[in-house]
Structure 1
Amino acid sequence: MTPDQLSAAVRACLLAAVEAGELAVVVPDEVRVERPKQREHGDWSTNIALQLAKQAGRPPREVALALAARLGEVAGVKSVDVAGPGFLNVVLDAASAGELARTIVEAGAAYGRSDALTGHVLNLEFVSANPTGPLHIGHTRWAALGDALGRLLSAAGAQVTREFYVNDAGAQMDRFGASVLARLRGTEVPEGGYKGEYVAELAVKVRAEHPEIDGLPDDEALVLAREAGYRLQLGEIQQTLADFGVHFDVWFSERTLHEAGAVEAAIERLREQGHVDDRDGAVWLRTTDFGDDKDRVLVKADGEKTYFAADAAYYLSKKDRGFGEKIYMLGADHHGYVQRLKALAACAGDDPEVNLEVLIGQLVSVGGAKLSKRAGNIIELRDLVDWLGVDAVRYSLARYPADSPLTLDGEVLTRRTNDNPVFYVQYAHARLAGIARNAVEAGVRREDGFDPALLDDPTDTALLGALAEMPRVVAHAAQLREPHRVARHLEELAGHFHRWYDATRVTPRAEESVTDAHRSRLWLAEAARVVFANGLDLLGVSAPERM
């Protein structure tokens, strides 16, 4: 019996009690059941009696007793105990609990997925680094978390578009082009330009592709250096992210907003909404109408459009493309953007509490990491991956809340020991794959029998309970935008698995014959392997079969 099936059974008992006149309540659409913190309290627990007591006009314990009598007659329920003020603690019989192993194995890669967010159409924007330099450790955190969040949202049934906003317009691009051209010609990089060795590398590549650049006038050479350098640098960003296992559905160029007149159109649309003023020769958006600390300039007095004007056009582009929900994942230095973006959404006629979500990531550092020689005073993503590996970096960044400052211990992450979280979880999967290989050699085959009632060891029960929680963990992680919940659950699951491995056997000892107990535990082992594989995949981490 799965948690969802037990939840449905409790709800059916509620409906029956209401129909029989035992309770006068409105039955909720869903009854929540949870794993008790203390195993002696049963397999599952619900506080539904406490929730409905006031409505029923009866003490919670009386409501619980009325439900317990009916729930105790449900097939697969071994016992029901009313505890404390009215908690219902449920113990399943071994066969009912063990049947979950077959359910998981048959579901395979689909186990853990749900329809919790079906109908939600989401635009998930993350990383969005300037195409003027390599990705660094700050981008790495959002790359890992953003990709994991996209996977979680999809697993919960949402329609997700992963988007990278390419900031390829404005003065920064001119400074970038001037920097590439200076390196190409052997002159000093202009003030405010980009001085990393990667610029010199780009200059060499630009000349190799465009040898004619040496004979061009300065203005033409600058345009060519800027455009060719931009294309090369963006290509490196795309390749670095692909190597990191991060995929984007859309690479949205800021330039397209300006070239298509979308910025001017956005200003006029906001004016029609009644939130644009002309003051002191400039054009303002009255974001203070919706809680911003000051109004925002869209067009300066000299006619130059601001970055915020492009932000407004970009927001409206997302809205026009049919994204009812827009998630922005921004760096720690963007706290000031939260309220102005919410005000912008309101000015555009959206509900900022429904149509917009801004997630702010805090700074991350890695002990022992070396600064990039080619990029200057930063730690590059690709150097970090070369040192620690994709799996260690992605898992380590995914296992902490985004809003917490983070220092990773490079020494720990390179160890093959249980104090290295990614090794601990991956080793559990590898060990389970090894169990399957050993079972083949010992002649233990799942297809020869499965008796879930034989999964009656306390470690069987504990492992099954943790496996049963996976769909709910995934759904909650998606709804709360917190991938770390999956990582932490996998670590808890690994603990249950290792204890189970020490206490039970899948293959017989030398003097023993193969029994249904061995076969049934092979089903449980495969169920656990499936859950580890699915959970690691949600985090963008591999599930090795040997370590």
Structure 2
Amino acid sequence: MTPEELSAAISACLTQAVAAGEITVDVPDNVRVERPKSREHGDWATNIALQLGKKAGMAPRDFAQLLARRLAEVPGVGAVDIAGPGFLNITLDAAAAGELARTIVEAGKQYGRNETLAGHTVNMEFVSANPTGPLHIGHTRWAALGDAIARVLRASGADVTSEYYINDAGNQMNVFARSVYNRMHGQPVPEGGYPGEYIKDLADIVEAQAPELKGQEEDAVLAQIRELAYKAQLEDIKKTLADFGVSFDVFFSETALHEGGAVADAVARLREQGHIFDQEGAVWLRTTDFGDDKDRVLIRANGEPTYFAADAAYYLSKKDRGFEEKIYLLGADHHGYVNRLKAIAACAGDDKDKNIEVLIGQLISVNGAKLSKRAGNIIELRDLIDWIGADALRYSLARFPADSPISLDPELLKKNTNDNPVFYVQYAHARSAAAARNAAAKNVTRDSFDAGLLTDPTENELLAVLGQYPSVVAGAAEFREPHRIARYLEQVAGAYHSWYAATRITPVGEDEAVAQVHSSRLWLNDATTQVLANGLELLGVSAPERM
């Protein structure tokens, strides 16, 4: 019996009690069950009697007694005890608890996936680094977290489009192009330009693709150099992201907003909404009506649009493309963007508390990390991947809430010890895969299964932990917190290692015959393998079968 099945059983008992006239109360769609802090208090607990007792005009403990009598008759429920003012502690019989192993194995990759966010259409934008240089440590956290959040949202039924906003407009691109031009001609870096060695690499690429551009006046060739260097740098960014296991459904160009007239259209639409005013020759959006600290200029007095105008046009583009919910993942230095982005949503006629969500991530540091020789003044993501490994880096970044600063210890993350969280979890998966191979060598198969044979205390504990996985996934999606998955997988690994040490999947020695208990334990072993693999996949981390 899964926690979801137990929740449904409790709801059914409540419905039956209402139909029998024993209680008068609205039965909730979902009854929350959770693991009690002490295993002596049963397998699962619920406080539903405390929630509904007074509404039913009863003392919560009396309500609990009425519900306990019905629950005790549910197949698979071994015992129901009432604690304190009305907590229900529920113990499943061994067979009902053990059936979860079969459920997980048969569900395979689908186990844990749910429909709690079905019907939600989400655009999630993250990373969105300027295409003027390589990805660096500042982008690393959102690459890992953003991709993991998108994965858990999809696992909970949401329709998610991951999007990378390419800031390829504005003066920065001209400075970028001049930097490449100067490198092509052996000239110093222009004022405010980009000094890294990667600029020399881009200059070589541009010269190889269009040798006729070298030696000409800057003004005559700058646009062509900008386009070629930009495309080469964007491909480098995409390659680095791919090496990190991150892919995007859409790469959206800021330039396309301007060239397609989206910025002018956005101003016109916002004016129709009644939130635009003109002052001193400039066009303003009255964002203070919706919590911003000051109104924002959209079009300067000289007729030039601001970055904020592009932000407004971009938001409206997402809305026009059918995304009811827009999630922005921004860096630690973007706190000031929260209210202004929400104000854009409100000015566009959306609900700023429902249609837009802005997540701010804190900085990370890596002990001993060195500035990139190629980029010169940053720590490149590429170098971190080569040094620490994509798996260790992604797992570690997903293991903490986004709003908490992180300091990573690369030497720890490269150790094959239980002190290294990613090794601890991956080793549990590899160990369970090895156990299955050993079982096959000893002729232990899953041809038979008797859930009632899984009676060892460590089996009860492991089954209970495995049963929590669907609710952990749903919670991670609801709160945009993939660290819940990582911390949960460490619990699974701990429970598995304890079970592995206490029981045997294969017969001992040559004299012991293969018995049904061995086959039944293989089901539990393989169920653990599946949950670990499913959870690691949501974090974008591999599940090795050998280590």
TM-score, scaled to structure 2: 0.99
Question: After superposition, where does 1:326-405 map in structure 2 within 5 Å?
Answer: 326-405=326-405
The answer on whether the counterparts of 1:361 and 1:403 sit within 8 Å (CA) in structure 2 is: yes
- How do 1:12-23 and structure 2 match up within 5 A? 12-23=12-23
* Superposed displacement of residue 377, structure 1: 2.0
Q: Deviations over 1:319-377 (max 9, x none)?
A: 00000000000011100000000111000000011100000010001112221011122
Partner of 2:130: 130
Where does residue 455 of structure 2 map in the other structure?
456
Residues 158-169 of structure 1: pairs in structure 2 closer than 5 A: 158-169=158-169
C-alpha distance in 2 between matches for 1:442 and 1:110: 29
Distance in 2, Cα, partners of 1:287 & 1:280 = 18
What do residues 21-71 of structure 1 show as CA deviations (whole Å, max 9, x unaligned)?
211111111111111111110000000000001111111000000000110
The aligned counterpart of 2:497 is 498
Q: Determine if contact 1:368/1:411 at 8 Å carries over to the other structure.
A: no
Rounded to whole Å, the distance in 2 between the matches of 1:540 and 1:15 is 42
Q: How does 1:400-411 map to 2 (within 5 A)?
A: 400-411=400-411
Question: For 1:224 and 1:329, how far apart are their aligned partners in 2?
Answer: 32
SS of alignment partner, residue 495 of structure 1: helix
Q: Distance in 2 between matches of 1:24 and 1:224?
A: 75
Residue 416 (str. 1) matches residue 404 (str. 2):
no
Runs of 4+ aligned residues of structure 1 deviating over 4 Å after TM superposition are: none
- CA-CA distance at 1:218 after TM superposition: 1.9
Q: 2-side partners of 1:49 and 1:24: how far apart?
A: 13
Q: Post-superposition shift, 1:284?
A: 0.4
Q: How many angstroms apart in 2 are the aligned matches of 1:532 and 1:119? A: 27
Asked whether the equivalents of residues 434 and 545 of structure 2 are also in contact (C-alpha less than 8 Å), the reply is yes
How do 1:82-101 residues align onto structure 2 when only pairs under 5 Å count? 82-101=82-101
Which consecutive unaligned segments of at least 5 residues does structure 1 have?
A: none
**Matched residues, number:** 546
In the TM superposition, what whole-angstrom CA distance separates every residue of 1:433-465 from its partner, at most 9, and x where no partner exists?
000000011110111x10000001110000000
Query: How many angstroms apart in 2 are the aligned matches of 1:268 and 1:98?
Result: 63
In structure 2, distance between residues paired with 1:214 and 1:142: 38
Other-structure match for 1:469? 468
| Contact 1:240/1:382 (<8 A) preserved | yes
The two structures, once aligned, show a CA RMSD in angstroms of 0.7
Structure 1 window deviating more from structure 2 (371-380 vs 479-488): it is 371-380
Deviations 1:486-539 (A, max 9, x none): 000000111100000110110010031111111100000000000000000000
What letter matches 1:414 in structure 2? Answer: K
Q: String of CA shifts for 1:125-182, please: whole Å, max 9, x gaps.
A: 0000000000001111100001111110000000000000000000000000011001
Question: What amino acid is aligned across from residue 277 of structure 1 in structure 2?
Answer: F
Report the 3-state secondary structure (helix = DSSP H, G, I; strand = E; otherwise coil) of the residue aligned with 1:55. coil
- The CA distance in 2 between the partners of 1:329 and 1:201, in whole Å, is 30
Aligned with 1:521: secondary structure?
helix
Aligned to 2:445: 445
1:38 counterpart residue number: 38
5 Å matches for 1:2-21?
Answer: 2-21=2-21
For the 8 Å contact 2:181–2:218, the answer to whether it is kept is: no
Match of 1:353, SS state, is coil
Alpha-carbon contact 1:326-1:357 (below 8 Å) kept? yes
Deviation of 1:18 after TM superposition, in Å, equals 1.2
Supply the AA of the counterpart residue of 1:545: E
What letter matches 1:90 in structure 2? I
Alpha-carbon distance between aligned partners in 2 of 1:215 and 1:7, rounded to the nearest angstrom: 74
Alignment of 1:75-224 (within 5 A): 75-224=75-224
Distance in 1 between residues matched to 2:29 and 2:226, nearest whole Å? 59
Kindly state the Cα deviation for residue 94 of structure 1 after the two structures are TM-superposed: 0.3
**What residue in structure 1 maps to residue 272 of structure 2?**
272
Structure 1 range deviating more: 16-25 or 472-481: 16-25
Q: Which residue is equivalent to 1:487?
A: 486
The Cα of 1:220 is off from its aligned counterpart by 2.0
Give 3-state SS (helix, strand or coil) of 2:54's partner: helix
Give how far 1:215 is off: 3.9
Correspondence for 1:251:
251
Is residue 427 from structure 1 mapped to residue 427 from structure 2 by the alignment?
yes
Partner of 2:320: 320
Q: Tell me the residue number matched to 2:240.
A: 240
Question: Counterparts of 2:357 and 2:334 in 1: how far apart (Å)?
Answer: 14
Q: Deviations over 1:200-237 (max 9, x none)?
A: 11111111111101243321221122111101000100
SS, match of residue 439 in structure 1: helix
**Residue identity opposite 2:379 in structure 1:** I
Moved more, 12-21 or 384-393: 12-21
Identity of aligned residues (%): 68
Return 5+ residue gaps in structure 2 as ranges: none
Q: What residue identity is the alignment partner of 1:53?
A: G
CA distance in 1, matches of 2:214, 2:279: 47
CA distance in 2, matches of 1:426, 1:525: 15
